[in-house]
Chain A
């Protein structure tokens, strides 16, 4: 059954995701909370089960067979992540707990030693709290300034304003690739070019971008890029920090312990090479292997086809929702990934969420860890339907029907 522009066989794809085939409150589950976390295909679940069932062992330590197998799969996970981002080498791929952990690593190991009193760090209005607070606290501590790029009512960055913010005091630009609330796809290549013209490095929060589009860090030329495994159909607790080798080499370790050392005496420690310098302790081996399986799965479908399919779905969803009286869409940038945030005149987002849930429709409601963005739009919270390639237009229709139910209850 091939019924869409991208040629994706979505009915077939849905078979790969066991969680989707269940009833919730007596209705078939319509899972539209993919920006919070994505569901896992059977191949990812199998990779985790196989590792724990057959290969469980520590990596880079034992000479025995199980350790060799685990190490091989773990190292392959790094290569898959490197290819996924098109990084120049495996040593530029640092495994972290997730996007938040990666941003904190950059804040503590890169920014902290480079930031002085009166310096600036630039972020944007549409950042997730995890790309605000590490910089805010660091700036407060150092007597530096946190500058915020404004956005327009559609939810696009004002690039002219950004350009004016850059000065010789700017030490870093930390910016999201795709907004988790608005879906806006930011012009990272342009942002990087402008920053690099002034000699300023750029860190990109890619958590909401990598599930939807092919990312090439060499083409973007960004200095750091961070994402989470669980948003690309992999396990929770694992993510990637990409950093340009020369920057990572110059940075002090973030946390200290085993695995990140070459030799230790009570007087002195020599740190290990990249990437191990930033990976103390036993890593999340199963997570890396599971994320590798997720990357294989995405590659097999093709991110370009995913992008095309989701875009078609997004357009349909935006059109359907904008046609409902009393519904206001938040985030209407022309370049946008498959996230639909909305508010309703008659009901608070939490009430929307509860009523949708009784119809089997799972959406996220609340401030989405982006309170300053909520303030920018003058709303306390939004309801957010975030779409994946396993969602269908039929499911959008069910969302619309569930929204009608909200209106019924509250009008």
Chain B
């Protein structure tokens, strides 16, 4: 069903977000993941597990995102797993920074918006300050996962 013209919701539940919520990508757990992390939001009981497997060139060839919680966390996790494929850990880190910059409401460039792809649709969450943490939870998990990956391989 197309999104209703809803002024108060500011398009929070737009087509793209609801599509990722209803059909989350990469739900299958990854065996032998190189980068992985689980993160909770203790205030609402939300949970996300992120897993990535890298190829010989350090590119992500398999991604897994299992999330429990609201539409925003599920959409954010699904989009993150989707966009991660083919990227290196360093590229993903850069993307994480771009995403956080966008969620903080700081000005971003047109290229940054292109780079964020579907994730750009989550900027609407900024209008709902208490929900920003939902969108960020998978990214916090990502950063913890990368930190663990680095310390393991250093």
Please tell me if the beta carbons of B71 and A367 are within 8 angstroms of each other in the complex. Answer: no
Closest to B134 in A: A350
Please tell me if the beta carbons of A366 and B13 are within 8 angstroms of each other in the complex. Answer: no
A166 to chain B, nearest CB (A): 32
B70 to chain A, nearest CB (A): 4
Please tell me if the beta carbons of B13 and A410 are within 8 angstroms of each other in the complex. Answer: yes
Q: A409: CB under 8 A from chain B? A: yes
Which of A25, A350, A355 has the most chain B CB atoms inside 10 A of its CB?
A350
Q: A257: CB under 8 A from chain B? A: no
Interface footprint category on A: 20 to 34
The 8 Å CB contact of B9, one of A350, A366, A409, is A409
Interface size on B, residues (CB 8 A): 20
Q: How far is the CA of A358 from the CA of B46 in the complex (A)?
A: 22
CB contacts under 8 Å to B, within A350-383, are 350-351, 354-355, 358-359, 365-367, 371, 374, 380-381
B residues near A358, Cβ cutoff 8 Å:
6, 8-9
Q: How far is the CA of A358 from the CA of B11 in the complex (A)?
A: 12
The 8 Å CB contact of B8, one of A26, A351, A374, A381, is A26
The 8 Å CB contact of B13, one of A349, A351, A365, A367, is A351
Q: How far is the CA of A358 from the CA of B8 in the complex (A)?
A: 6
A240 to chain B, nearest CB (A): 27
Q: Write the residues of chain A forming the contact surface with B, with a CB cutoff of 8 angstroms.
A: 25-26, 347-351, 354-355, 358-359, 365-367, 371, 374, 380-381, 408-411
8 additional contacts (CB under 8 A) given A350-B44, A410-B13: A350-B70, A350-B131, A351-B71, A354-B9, A358-B8, A380-B46, A408-B4, A409-B6
- Enumerate 16 A-B pairs (CB-CB under 8 Å) in ascending A order: A349-B70, A350-B46, A350-B72, A350-B134, A351-B13, A354-B9, A355-B9, A366-B43, A366-B45, A371-B45, A380-B45, A380-B69, A381-B44, A409-B6, A410-B13, A410-B18
Top 9 nearest A-B pairs by Cβ distance? A350-B70, A358-B8, A348-B70, A367-B45, A366-B44, A409-B13, A351-B70, A351-B71, A25-B8
Q: Write the residues of chain B forming the contact surface with A, with a CB cutoff of 8 angstroms.
A: 1, 4, 6, 8-9, 12-13, 18, 43-46, 68-72, 128, 131, 134
